[in-house]
Amino acid sequence: MSAPEGRFIAFEGGEGAGKSTQARLLVEALQARGLAVVTTREPGGTLGAEAIRRLLLDPPGDAGWTAEAEALLFAAARADHVAHLIRPALARGEWVVCDRFVDSSRAYQGGAGGLGDDAILSLHAFGSGGLRPDRVILLEGDETVLAGRLTARGAISDAIEGRPATYHRAVAEAFRALAVADPVGIVRIDGIGAPDNVHARIMDALADLLDGEGEGR
Ligand code: Z5A
């Protein structure tokens, strides 16, 4: 009998939405059920993709990447990540919890960056065989509240975070539109409130995938 395929969960949303915090809480909850979990992020997750991450978030020189070059670099990092980390973990029957995945490229480069969804999906089909998460958790929240979290953290802005508020609003709108078009695959979660309360909403949104998982699977 072949080994069970693992599950692939991605967290999406704008900066400060709580993706890293909630990814950590989910990993703890899955591990508490005895499930094997790989936790990872984009851009990054493998040595090659982490090298590309540095190029993306701190571009060499003053010109910055063109929108097209930026999209290609994200797709290249993802291709390496999918081939060397995500697919092997899923094939071993493990859960993969990823902080951002292709819907970030669709919202940032395709939506706010103006390249369009078809271009991003074509790159993803070529680079990563079009792999989709089993479920995307889209964390949303009032722009001012999320910005306040980043100020409180004292975050240093990178090349993408430092873009104007209009860009980040367009990202949020693009994420919303993706979720409206695919409400089962991309679940909108209110990211405002205590982290444990947000975590409980996420566990509800994953209940169907968790049914029968763990404790001896
Ligand atoms: N990008 C792209 O353009 N295209 C792509 O395809 C991909 C990415 C994959 C990666 O940055 C950048 O690359 C990103 C998108 C772009 N740029 N932007 N914007 P990253 O991954 O390094 O940065 P980020 O995803 O924006 O991470 P972040 O700012 O750290 O946000 P977060 O992970 O969603 O939030 P957090 O770290 O969990 O929480 C932020 C702070 O809020 C922290 O101090 C927490 O303690 C606090 N927090 C979290 N939850 C709560 C609640 N519930 N209440 C109060 N405070 C909270």
Tens of pLDDT, residue by residue over 10-63, are: 999 999 999 999 999 999 999 999 999 999 999 999 999 999 999 999 999 989
State the pLDDT at residue 212. Answer: 77
Secondary structure class of 90 (helix, strand, coil): helix
Q: Which residues of 110-133 are buried (b: 16+ CB within 10 A; e: fewer)?
A: bbbbebebebbeebbeebbeebbb
Full-model pTM: 0.96
The parts of the chain modelled with pLDDT lower than 50 are: 216-217
Task: Kindly report the protein residue whose alpha carbon is nearest to atom 26 of ligand 1.
Answer: 15
Q: Element (H or E) spanning 47, and its range?
A: helix 47-57
- Distance (Å, whole) CA 46 – CA 57: 16
pLDDT value for 217: 46
pLDDT of residue 155: 65
C-beta separation of 211 from 203 below 8 A: no
pLDDT at 116: 98
Residues with CB under 6 A from ligand 1: 13, 15-21, 42-43, 74, 100, 104-105, 108-109, 149, 153, 160-161, 193, 195, 198
Phi, psi (deg, nearest 5) at residue 155:
-70, 145
Q: Is 174 helix (H, G, I), strand (E, B) or coil?
A: helix
Q: Ligand 1 atom closest to Cα of 168?
A: 19
